[in-house]
Structure formats: structure tokens, C-alpha cells
Amino acid sequence: MKEQTIQLNLSPERKPKPQSEELGFGKIFTDHMFIMDYTEGQGWHDPRIVPYQPISLDPACMIFHYGQTVFEGLKAYLTEDNRVLLFRPQKNFERLNRSNERLCIPPVDEEFALEALKQLISVEKDWIPNAEGTSLYIRPFIISTEPFLGVAPSSRYKFMIILSPVGAYYKEGIHPVKILVESEFVRAVAGGTGEAKTAGNYASSLKAQEIADGKGYTQVLWLDGLEKKYIEEVGSMNVFFKINGEIVTPALNGSILEGVTRNSVIELLKSWDLPVTERRLAMEEIREAYKSGQLEEAFGTGTAAVISPIGELLWNDEKMIINEGTTGPIAKKLYSTITGIQNGKEQDPFNWTVEVEQYAATK
């Protein structure tokens, strides 16, 4: 696979670039995309960078019926000295293959996928916005394309990477959000697909999110599917709480997504000699910490928002205002450190960033 050459078919026309204030999240796409195909017996083949365009699929393709699909999300950042940085991209392709394993999708060569991403970004460098908080969001994904209505793994797939210049994920930016603790719907359960990045987990979350929206809450906090006692995730982010000085995040249990930002936050906190613990965390413990004045901070972590402070939790009818509804010092420091490493303004002691060189052929 690594030996394969990526064919370049560049678009003669380029779309106008948006102003940074028009960006939003995931609505504008660049001029090109990467695509390769998988055919049983042949493996992954025909890697190519082509103009961004609709794909044509038989209506019986399995992706439309049985949801055999995985995706990833990461970002590219433009530094002040005009270099392009990726943040821990190997972790995303490792996780893509873990998701593939769970969904019975053939693995991709992680090094080749990263190489393909670098070439695509090199083509699209002018699309990376440079205003504060902006970046180029990267969406690798795999869809099953065999036209067959039997419930079985597909014999054909497409692996694609599309790019979207983005502003901040949450309209509120780094300001705290209000979170509804979900007591009826369930996102995932051990033995299900919760630790894979696959479409069904997100489809199943829409209903609870819609109800939360209607009540004026930005996201839901998911409890475990078995007892609805233990904290799992917030919306599509991992979640951290600071309780009486200890920073706690739910331990990976098979139904929680292993976030790259989550892992980075844990490593950073350890490097700062702050007490950070991965363990089972009951919602009741949060409530008691709140009652006794020991719930000091709460925040979500994810690629889209990086750090999303939580200013309020609603659990049944009980409202908990955290840190007086303002962004706490740990959340602030994590946000500025991680975004600083990402855009090259801060030292990168962990060698997390990967620079994308300009490929001669791609201009």
C-alpha cells in the first residue's frame, strides 16, 4: 500500500475563500478531496486527490441501510510563520483502525493515510484560515458501498478525506455552556459501539440533544446505559470535573470514546503535577461535591471545541451552577496551552505536532 502513488487531478477552478467571520463549522468545503477504493481480493486501491465533488452511489449501497461506516476528526493549523501543523494525527488513524475492527471494515495503512492527508493539505494550504480560533477541520471517513441488502460486511468501501475551514464549534466560544444530564436516552453500552467513532452513536444521540435544545441547554451529559448512575461523555466530548482539587475523568470502559484531546489533557495535567484520575464517576458524587462547595470546575474536551467549560448542569430538576458560571483557571490554562501548541505559539514538549511540508507537485 505504501508503495502506491497518489494520483493528482487538480481542479482548474478554485472557489472563493470565505472570510473568517463566515466560517462556522462544517458547512464550507475546500476545492479537493482524497479518495481511494477497497475491493475484496484487491485491497485498497486507486488513491487519488480529485476536485471536491458529489459521489454517485447505487441506492442499495450498504451505507444507506446498515450504517457500516467509521470516521475521524482532526484539524490543521496555520502558524504565524506560515507553517502547517497537524495535532497528533497518528492517534486519529490508530483510532480509525480500532473503529474499523469493531465495524468489520478492512484496516487502512496508517502511514499511508497520513501521507495522503499531508498531500491533500499541501494542495489546500490556502484554505487554512489564520484568524484566532480558526483552523482547517479534517474529516477522514469510510463508507460501505456494496449494493446488497443482506446484513453482512460489505465487499467494497470508499475511504475519503474532506476538508472544511472552521471557526469556533460552539457559538459561545470558550464561554461556559449549559449541560442537561440525560436520564432517559442512552448513547452507548459496553459491548456496543460506544468506543468506536461510527455513525450510529451520533444518530442515537440526536433525540436527547433535540430535547436539551428545546430547554435551552447546549449539550447533554450521558450517563452509563446500565444503571444511569455513572458519567460517560458530554455530547460528543469527553468530560472532566475538578472536585476538591482532584481532576477526574471517567475511565475508559468500552462505551466511552478515547478522545485525543482527552489524552492530551491528561498528559498535560500530569506534566503540571496536578492530580488527575481516570475512574468511575457517579453523577451523585458530582451532586454531593456541588452541595458541599467542592465542585470547582467542569469542562468537555474534543477536537472541535478543544476545551468547552461547563457553567451549569441540570440533573432532573436540580440546577448546579459551576464556578459561578464562568470559565475556571484549569480550563483556561488547558485551552491556551493546547491551542498554543496547535498553532505553534507555544513550546511543544511532547512533540505532538506534525508539520506538513509543501509538496512540489501539488501547486
Binding site for its own copies (CB under 8 A): 25-27, 29, 33, 52, 54-60, 63-69, 71, 102-104, 137, 139, 141, 143, 147-153, 160, 162, 164, 184-193, 198-207, 209-210, 225-226, 228, 235-236
Print burial letters for 88-126: b (CB count within 10 Å at least 16), e (below 16).
Answer: bbebbbebbbebbebbebbebbbebbbbbbbbbbbbbbe
Residue 21 or 273: the one with the smaller Cβ distance to its own copies is 21
Beta-bridged to residue 86, according to DSSP, are 76, 354
Q: Are strands 295-302 and 156-166 parallel, antiparallel or unpaired?
A: unpaired
Q: What is the dihedral of CA 43, 110, 120, 68, to 10 degrees?
A: 60
Residue 204 or 326: the one with the smaller Cβ distance to its own copies is 204
Q: Min. distance of Cβ 161 from its own copies in angstroms?
A: 9
Q: Min. distance of Cβ 192 from its own copies in angstroms?
A: 5
Longest dimension (CA), the chain: 64
Q: Min. distance of Cβ 137 from its own copies in angstroms?
A: 7
Residue 141 or 217: the one with the smaller Cβ distance to its own copies is 141
Helix pair 329-342, 260-271: axis angle to 10 deg: 110
- SS3 labels along 127-140: HCCCCCCCEEEEEE
CA distance 291 to 197: 35
Residue 58 or 355: the one with the smaller Cβ distance to its own copies is 58
Q: Min. distance of Cβ 132 from its own copies in angstroms?
A: 21
Burial class (CB in 10 A: 0-12, 13-18, 19+), 5: exposed
CA distance 313 to 221: 9
3-state secondary structure of 279: strand
Q: Min. distance of Cβ 228 from its own copies in angstroms?
A: 8
Residue 26 or 267: the one with the smaller Cβ distance to its own copies is 26
Residue 29 or 359: the one with the smaller Cβ distance to its own copies is 29
Please say whether the dihedral angle defined by the alpha carbons of residues 165, 169, 171 and 173, taken in this order, is positive or negative. Answer: negative
DSSP string covering 174-200, please?
A: TS-EEEEEESS-----TTTTTTS--HH
Q: Min. distance of Cβ 184 from its own copies in angstroms?
A: 6
Residue 145 or 337: the one with the smaller Cβ distance to its own copies is 145
Q: Min. distance of Cβ 129 from its own copies in angstroms?
A: 16
Residue 179 or 269: the one with the smaller Cβ distance to its own copies is 179
Report CA Rg, the chain: 21
Q: Min. distance of Cβ 85 from its own copies in angstroms?
A: 21
Contact present, 356 and 76 (Cβ < 8 Å): yes
